[in-house]
Amino acid sequence: MDLHDLTRTLNIKNDARIVLVVADGLGGLAPEPGGKTELETAATPNLDALAGRGVCGLLDPVLRGITPGSGPGHLGLFGYDPLEYVIGRGALEAAGVDFELGPDDVAIRGNFCTVDDAGNITDRRAGRIPTEKSTKTVEKLRRISVPGVELFVEPVREHRFVAVFRGEGLEDAVDDTDPQQTGVPPMDPVARDAASHRTAEAARAFITQARRILANDRPANMLTLRGFAKRPPLPSMQEVYGLNPAAIAVYPMYRGLARLVGMNVPPAPGNLAEEVDTLKEHWGAFDFFFLHFKYTDSTGEDGNFDAKVKRVEELDAEIPRIVALKPDVLIVTGDHSTPALLRSHSWHPVPVLLTSATCRIDAATRFGESQCVCGGLGRFEAKYLLPLALAHAGRLQKFGA
């Protein structure tokens, strides 16, 4: 019996509402020994008040020492084991441009590249051509036609695009065509199993036509295909948790991830205050809300400690409006740490706080990494957070007699 077997059997419906606020990359590091992290440096009276009347802890997004990408980081928070459900790169890229993958779709990440007259790659990223230019190049690719396959091509950013092949009998065990080096031609898309043969054939036809269409373009006169992936067979949050969930997120990637687990995704708002407006607006329609705040991560990736501190304060300022909605369970956490010191995602555990009428209040009075170490929630893998939220919402029955 695994976690989902339990929650499938035990979940019940009621009127309780759960809000999961995810400040992307929330966890941090002090810039010098004995110093404070970004979260600890920020003035966060509202989060601290929640910590005071709630319970705190630390989450490992995947396992100790493992640095998650956004996919595994969010899957864990949504209550899915990120080691059981692996989202292929193509599928994640499709999610990232708000493309809703169907069950017969194979999504592929494409890169424009530059080849010389002999067909050897001279630049794997076509000089990172500007997005406006690659958008036009993508439009040209829409002329391509492959018999028996419905084709979608969408621009992503700079030299990156997504291709989706839709059709029966398409599987995704196909090798990348990117040789990961220059001076050689792109490789052939080779199927690793018989079931993926048709996909490889379609990819070959796509590449052949693309080569002709792009021949006179510079620098994007060729392309490579990577990360062939179908939509992962994720059961919905409705089915495993009995929730009617909604995602409030600005960035397409997170909206796409939410859609993969069955969340409803209202139109994208613009900034955090507008996200809270959207939350308020849909308050009556759903019982679970994932609210995503991106900028704690992007400032961390920029290595800008002070900017991340400010973004935490921006989040803190919106907390009262969320609290005013009187969620039965309110959780604030991150999908991983992004210490400004490291300018990247990291493996460090992520602070989490939970308030509800049934929480066993701990000694924490300040929401930050140090106090979370000794918080009442302890330290645990992120995939257990959602069942815990359900419990505090009175939505999980007793297991066994």
Amino acid letter, residue 298? S
Decide whether 262 or 339 has the Cβ nearer to a copy of itself: 339
Decide whether 71 or 155 has the Cβ nearer to a copy of itself: 71
Q: Strand, helix or coil at 263?
A: coil
Q: What is the DSSP letter of 333?
A: E
Give Cα 391 distance to the centre of its chain: 25
Residue 71 Cβ vs a copy of itself, minimum distance, rounded to whole Å: 4
**Which residue stretch of 3-11, 151-159, 282-290, 307-315 sits at the interface with a copy of itself (rule: CB under 8 A)?**
3-11
Residue 229 Cβ vs a copy of itself, minimum distance, rounded to whole Å: 11
- Neighbouring CB atoms inside 10 A of 325's CB total 14
Q: Quote the CA–CA distance of 375 and 373 in Å, as a whole number.
A: 6
Within residues 133-162, the interface with a copy of itself by CB under 8 A covers none
Give one DSSP letter per residue of 69-106, joined into a string.
Answer: -HHHHHHHHTT--TTTS---HHHHHHHHTT----TTEE
Count the site residues for a copy of itself by CB under 8 A. Answer: 68
Q: Quote the CA–CA distance of 93 and 88 in Å, as a whole number.
A: 9
Residue 293 Cβ vs a copy of itself, minimum distance, rounded to whole Å: 20
Decide whether 54 or 219 has the Cβ nearer to a copy of itself: 54
336 with 61: CB under 8 angstroms?
yes
Within residues 14-33, the interface with a copy of itself by CB under 8 A covers 29-30, 33
Q: Is residue 220 close enough to count as binding a copy of itself by CB under 8 A?
A: no
The two three-digit tokens of residue 195, written as one number: 């079931």
Within residues 56-75, the interface with a copy of itself by CB under 8 A covers 58, 62-73
Within residues 368-387, the interface with a copy of itself by CB under 8 A covers 369-370, 373-376, 378-380, 384, 387
Q: Quote the CA–CA distance of 368 and 8 in Å, as a whole number.
A: 34
Q: Is the dihedral of CA 180, 185, 190, 196 positive or negative?
A: positive
Site string (324-363) toward a copy of itself, x via CB under 8 A: ---------------x-xx-xxxxxx--------x-xxxx
**Which residue stretch of 55-63, 120-128, 157-165, 306-314 sits at the interface with a copy of itself (rule: CB under 8 A)?**
55-63
Q: Is residue 89 close enough to count as binding a copy of itself by CB under 8 A?
A: yes
Q: Strand, helix or coil at 60?
A: strand
**Omega of the bond prior to 219 within 30 degrees of 0, cis?**
yes
**Which residue stretch of 191-199, 201-209, 274-282, 389-397 sits at the interface with a copy of itself (rule: CB under 8 A)?**
389-397
Q: How many residues does the chain have?
A: 401
Contacts of 260 (CB under 8 A, 6+ apart): 87, 91, 95, 231, 232, 234
Residues that bind a copy of itself (CB under 8 A): 1-3, 6, 10, 29-30, 33-34, 37, 53, 58, 62-73, 82-84, 86-87, 89, 92-93, 339, 341-342, 344-349, 358, 360-363, 369-370, 373-376, 378-380, 384, 387-392, 396-401
